[in-house]
Amino acid sequence: MRIRDLMGQMPLFHGLQEQHLEELTDIVVDQTLGRGQTIFSGGDEASGFYVVVSGKVKVFMLSPDGKEQILHIFGPGEAFGEVPMFAGGHFPASAETLEKSRIFFFPRRDFLALLHKDPSLAVNMLATLSRMLRQLTRLIENLSLKEVPSRLAAYLIFLSDRDKTPEEVELDIAKGQLASLLGTIPETLSRILNKMSSQGLIEVQGRRIRLLDRQTLAEMSEGGKFLF
């Protein structure tokens, strides 16, 4: 598929003038990375931002002693690494592929020029950043105000809603990565999955999780402290 058409499908570039889309295709850098490749590291000088074409990219931070907190996992059509474009010059977090991924890179200079020319591009970008702010707000809410079981319940409900599979979900990331996304460690996640199973809330078979009591899971995810 042509680069031009791929970009036309990305929300970030919706409603752009044809001429500007063409200009973008001229400045974009197309790259394909294997699984587990580093795209940038926290603190790195930034010279542009990225969009996922295919695959999955995690954006995360590391504590001094190595614990990882995933901020977000980006899939096809989603942009990441925009913050240094507009504030400061370095990345506040790190990015790495979770699987073989195709990535578009947009150099800062050229992109900023285009931003000033096409207001819809700027407004799209504002929408993108706002969604990320909302997202991070939720993450903070979860980390600070809820316990791990609530976060897990919320994630399961979220997955089942997203994939429209009310009674069963399939994790699209490894359990260890899920732990990091939920702000905990694999051991704790494992124990909680176990506990939920023995309480008849779920049934775990590898990455497939059956939601036996969606009702209770939904209540837990609201944050109320229940039986644990």
| Least distance CB 148 / DNA (angstroms) | 4
Indicate which single residue of 4, 162, 210, 225 sits in contact with a copy of itself (rule: CB under 8 A).
Answer: 225
Q: Is 190 in the site for DNA (CB under 7 A)?
A: yes
Q: Which two tokens stand for residue 114?
A: 């285009």
Q: Which runs of E-coded beta strand occur in the chain?
A: 29-33, 38-40, 48-54, 57-62, 68-74, 79-80, 94-97, 101-107, 168-170, 202-205, 208-211
Q: Is 67 in the site for a copy of itself (CB under 8 A)?
A: yes
Q: Is 161 in the site for a copy of itself (CB under 8 A)?
A: no
Indicate which single residue of 38, 109, 127, 176 sits in contact with a copy of itself (rule: CB under 8 A).
Answer: 127
Indicate which single residue of 1, 65, 119, 164 sits in contact with DNA (rule: CB under 7 A).
Answer: 65
Q: Is 61 in the site for DNA (CB under 7 A)?
A: no
Distance from C-alpha of 170 to C-alpha of 183, rounded to nearest angstrom:
20
Q: Is 189 in the site for DNA (CB under 7 A)?
A: yes
Q: Are 57 and 158 in contact (CB under 8 A)?
A: no
For residue 68, what are the contacts with CB-CB under 8 A and spacing of at least 6? 60, 61, 62, 180
In the complex with a copy of itself, the residue whose CB is nearer, 81 or 209, is: 81
In the complex with DNA, the residue whose CB is nearer, 45 or 187, is: 187
- Dihedral sign from CA coordinates of 114, 46, 96, 133: negative
Of 129-158, binders to DNA (CB under 7 A) are: 147-149
Counting other chains too, the contacts that 133-138 makes at CB distance below 8 Å and 24 or more residues apart are: 135/72, 136/71, 136/72
Indicate which single residue of 17, 38, 130, 194 sits in contact with a copy of itself (rule: CB under 8 A).
Answer: 130
Strand, coil or helix: 199: coil
Distance from C-alpha of 101 to C-alpha of 219, rounded to nearest angstrom:
37
Q: Is 179 in the site for a copy of itself (CB under 8 A)?
A: no
Q: Is 93 in the site for a copy of itself (CB under 8 A)?
A: yes
Q: Is 162 in the site for a copy of itself (CB under 8 A)?
A: no
Task: Name the site residues for a copy of itself (rule: CB under 8 A).
Answer: 61-65, 67, 69, 71, 82-88, 92-93, 115-117, 119-120, 122-123, 125-127, 129-134, 136-141, 143-146, 183, 222-225
